[in-house]
Amino acid sequence: MTGPRHFADIDAMDGDTLRDILEGAKALKKARAGKGQAAPDAGAPLAGKLLAMIFEQPSTRTRISFDVGMRQLGGETIVLNGQDLQLGRGESVADTARVMSRYVDAIMLRTKSHAVLEELMAHATVPVINGLTDLTHPCQLMADVMTFEEHRGPITGKVVTWSGDGNNMATSWIQGAARFGYALRLACPPELQPSDRAVDWARRHGADVSVGSDPEAAVDGADCVVADAWVSMHDDPNSDRHNMLARFRVDERLMSRANADSVFMHCLPAHRGEEVTDAVMDGPQSVVWDQAENRLHAQKGILAWCLR
């Protein structure tokens, strides 16, 4: 590969590289057993490296896990609110990329426009990491695959069911089906179907992806059931989404149709009582807190791949 190693999207990476990143993340996690969160990793592999994080939208997990991850790897971070930059007053993304590349070793961006990420990557001479856009959330997908495999072994050949909005997180799960080899069953309201482009791309790359509107049919035989917020950060909060999505709520009745050893996943933040009930979120099949923790470890694998 020439140029900086961007971590842009699951469909922009080959399966072997994604697997190498995940195995690196698992090794980094294992090596930290028993250490305090502020203790550096052995050898401080990213000592002297500086990550800038730009947030155009709110974040808890992404902000904290990237910051802690860089510290554990021996590096440092700068956290920037998009509105505080000249970017918010009309400086171009391209010029911002050129300038920031002179100051920092990598850039993590959370943006409401995927086109901004693409322009940043096109003009940055340092690695750029996708920390969520309106179209995808690849860092979360890496943490989710890692979490599934910790609980249930290799995800290849397993069945994952998505119940709800065919949103940016759904797109990353669709792309992941092609790269990690799980079957994906999406149940989404007719008005909120997932990206045709992503589904077509995944099928062209050998993925077993089905799209429908019946959550009960989709969850039959599932090894993993995934829910997400009904109103994402870039959605209109006044839309009719709550009515459209009510029958896609993951409750104990729906979980009981999945395999007995299935896990429940949610990237968080959750809206308890909407897309998922308390009984499922806090129940024995839920692995949501492990998912949140694994954002830290998976992103350390991504940072190490981008910067070493």
Sequence-distant (6+) residues with CB within 8 A of 179 are 10, 11, 13, 14, 15, 18, 205
Taking the complex as a whole, the smallest distance from the CB of residue 61 to ligand CP amounts, in Å, to 4
Q: In what order do the strands lie in the sheet with 159-163?
A: 209-212, 183-187, 159-163, 224-227, 263-266
110 is an active site residue:
yes
Taking the complex as a whole, the smallest distance from the CB of residue 60 to ligand CP amounts, in Å, to 4
Q: 105 near 49, Cβ under 8 Å?
A: yes
Q: With binding defined as CB under 6 A, does residue 243 bind ligand CP?
A: no
Q: With binding defined as CB under 6 A, does residue 60 bind ligand CP?
A: yes
Between residues 57 and 210, which has the closer beta carbon with respect to ligand CP? Answer: 57
Q: With binding defined as CB under 6 A, does residue 61 bind ligand CP?
A: yes
Question: What are the angstrom distances between the C-alpha of 205 and each of 11, 155, 169, 176?
Answer: 10, 17, 19, 11
- Binding letters toward ligand CP, positions 129-148, x by CB under 6 A: ---x-------x--------
User: Residues 8-28, buried b or exposed e (16+ Cβ, 10 A)?
Assistant: bbbbebeeeebeebbebbbeb
Q: 72 near 300, Cβ under 8 Å?
A: yes
Scanning 57-65, 118-126, 145-153, 202-210 for contacts with ligand CP by CB under 6 A, the matching segment is 57-65
Q: With binding defined as CB under 6 A, does residue 171 bind ligand CP?
A: no
Taking the complex as a whole, the smallest distance from the CB of residue 267 to ligand CP amounts, in Å, to 4
Between residues 136 and 277, which has the closer beta carbon with respect to ligand CP? Answer: 136
Q: With binding defined as CB under 6 A, does residue 226 bind ligand CP?
A: no
Q: With binding defined as CB under 6 A, does residue 54 bind ligand CP?
A: no
295 is an active site residue:
yes
Report which secondary-structure segment, H or E, holds 261. Answer: none
Q: Which letter does DSSP use for residue 194 in this model? A: P
Taking the complex as a whole, the smallest distance from the CB of residue 65 to ligand CP amounts, in Å, to 8
Q: Is the peptide bond before 58 cis (omega within 30 degrees of 0)?
A: no
Q: With binding defined as CB under 6 A, does residue 267 bind ligand CP?
A: yes
Taking the complex as a whole, the smallest distance from the CB of residue 220 to ligand CP amounts, in Å, to 27
Q: 183 near 203, Cβ under 8 Å?
A: no
Taking the complex as a whole, the smallest distance from the CB of residue 147 to ligand CP amounts, in Å, to 12
Q: Give me the amino acid identity at 166.
A: G
Determine the Cα–Cα distance for residues 292 and 41; give it in Å rounded to an integer: 20
Between residues 144 and 183, which has the closer beta carbon with respect to ligand CP? Answer: 144
Given the residues 110, 123, 179, 241, select the one marked as catalytic.
110
Between residues 60 and 92, which has the closer beta carbon with respect to ligand CP? Answer: 60
The two three-digit tokens of residue 264, written as one number: 């429940």
Q: With binding defined as CB under 6 A, does residue 227 bind ligand CP?
A: no
Task: Kindly report the number of other CB atoms within 10 A of residue 78's CB atom.
Answer: 14
Task: Kindly report the number of other CB atoms within 10 A of residue 50's CB atom.
Answer: 16
Please list the active-site residues: 110, 137, 140, 228, 267, 295
Contact residues: ligand CP, CB under 6 A: 59-62, 132, 140, 267-268
